[in-house]
Amino acid sequence: MSTTKRNWFEYNKAKTCRFQIFVSLLLLILDTVPLPSLYKGKGRKPYSTRDIVICLCFKIYYKTSYRDIIGELNNHKKELGLKKAPHFNTLRKYMVESRMTVILGILLLFLLQPIAALETTFASDATGFGTSRKSEYFSVVTKSQTKKDAGTKKEKKKLLQKKKKKDFVKLHVTIGTVTQMVVCAVSTIGKKHESTKFETMVSMVATVFSIKEWLSDAGYLSRKACNLVSKQHGIPYFWLKSNSTSKSRGSYAWSDMMIMFKKNLDFFKKHYHQRSKVESVFSVIKNYFGNTVFSRKIEGQLNELLVKVLDYNLCRLGEVAFYMKIDIDSYFLCCEIEEVTLMSTCVLPQTSHG
């Protein structure tokens, strides 16, 4: 349990002004960051990238459909600087665009500049979001079951019965434990294991932050993961399994972590249990922006997850700036990045049924 006292006056003021902070930060970053155009070079010119990103962020913020958000956009048209609210099918089309994934990654990179010097400890995890789609599968039975059920024809038909189950998509994130902001995000189909995206997340985080500690549960446990963290001069804190051995097999970071876990468990737990903050981040994202995605195509579902992360970071950065007295305007206006590294991406399946 945390022993720090909360300043309720500042907390209440930050929470009651959450929407105003969200809108002001969204407009600030979109007016400051140079974004690629959505124009393909054929036909009439589309809406500006700024307007499309605003509309998609509002759609996720209000947890509503593409049709219903048009009314809210018309109400805030002057405040947001929109000449005209796009058609709902236009928003649906751009949510599926692969270029939107690139734009979201650029925006997330610039949002992290004010906290780049604050974060040195990171925690990774993944969570699932429900979809409206279902996949079909056949139930498989063993020979012992077929002998028992081989009495009637009706029972034979049940063995070949087609079943359906709901699909889901997965969001892999890494957060900073000081500000609890998402520093990198990868969206995949639900069947992708967490450990497959760990190398991608480490390379993303290392381009912006200096890594001192990395916390993860047993799903990321491997000697390769320990080597990736130690290569960036960090200390891995992965929860060990019951069958984990102390054999290094070429990984000195693994053996050091095993010795720390066995000989100084209290010290290990003190660092490792900072990982629980990533569960709090998942809870906030799902409570604020919904635990499901509305898009029918897989490309739109994965981009929806990244927009949820962007909305969360906008709200969270406003709170962090309020608590820590950070001048965000100076960071964005004076920020110069020589090489842009996308801090979010989505991994499409090889065969999409969207």
Domain-wise residue ranges, the chain: 8-346
Structure-block tokens of residue 310: 């962007």
Predicted local confidence at residue 44, as pLDDT: 77
φ/ψ of 123, rounded to 5, equals: -135, 135
Cβ burial, residue 347 (10 Å; 0-12/13-18/19+): middle
- Return the bridge partners of 134, or none: 166
Given a contact cutoff of 8 angstroms between Cβ atoms, the answer to whether 47 and 87 are in contact is no
Considering only CA atoms, give the Rg of the chain.
23
> Tens digit of pLDDT per residue, the chain (354 long)?
345 577 777 778 878 888 998 999 999 999 888 888 887 777 777 889 999 999 999 999 999 999 999 999 999 888 899 988 999 999 999 999 989 999 999 999 989 988 888 999 999 999 999 988 777 666 665 545 444 555 554 444 445 567 777 888 999 999 999 999 999 999 998 888 888 899 999 999 999 999 999 999 999 998 999 999 999 999 999 998 888 888 888 889 999 999 898 899 999 999 999 999 999 999 999 999 999 998 889 999 999 999 999 999 999 998 888 888 887 776 665 555 555 667 777 776 654 444
Predicted local confidence at residue 1, as pLDDT: 38
Given a contact cutoff of 8 angstroms between Cβ atoms, the answer to whether 217 and 237 are in contact is no
Residue 309's Cα: distance from chain center in Å?
5
Predicted local confidence at residue 137, as pLDDT: 65
Strand order in the sheet with 235-238: 235-238, 213-216, 121-138, 162-176, 182-189, 344-346
Task: Quote the CA–CA distance of 163 and 160 in Å, as a whole number.
Answer: 9
Predicted local confidence at residue 287, as pLDDT: 95
Predicted local confidence at residue 250, as pLDDT: 80
Predicted local confidence at residue 352, as pLDDT: 44
Task: Quote the CA–CA distance of 175 and 315 in Å, as a whole number.
Answer: 15
Predicted local confidence at residue 273, as pLDDT: 92
Predicted local confidence at residue 341, as pLDDT: 66
Task: Quote the CA–CA distance of 52 and 60 in Å, as a whole number.
Answer: 13
Map residue 135 onto helix, strand or coil: strand
Structure-block tokens of residue 283: 């809870």
Residue-wise DSSP of 253-310: HHHHHHHHHHH-HHHHHHHHGGGHHHHHHHHHHHHHH-SB---SSHHHHHHHHHHHHH
Structure-block tokens of residue 226: 């320990």
Task: Quote the CA–CA distance of 307 and 311 in Å, as a whole number.
Answer: 6
Task: Quote the CA–CA distance of 76 and 20 in Å, as a whole number.
Answer: 12
Predicted local confidence at residue 43, as pLDDT: 75
> Exposed e or buried b for every residue in 89-121, given b needs 16+ CB within 10 A?
ebbbebbbeeebbbbbbbbbbbbbbbbeeebeb
- List all residues 6 or more positions away from 127 whose beta carbon is below 8 Å from its beta carbon: 170, 171, 282, 286
Residue with tokens 């995000």: 185
Map residue 124 onto helix, strand or coil: strand
Predicted local confidence at residue 37, as pLDDT: 84
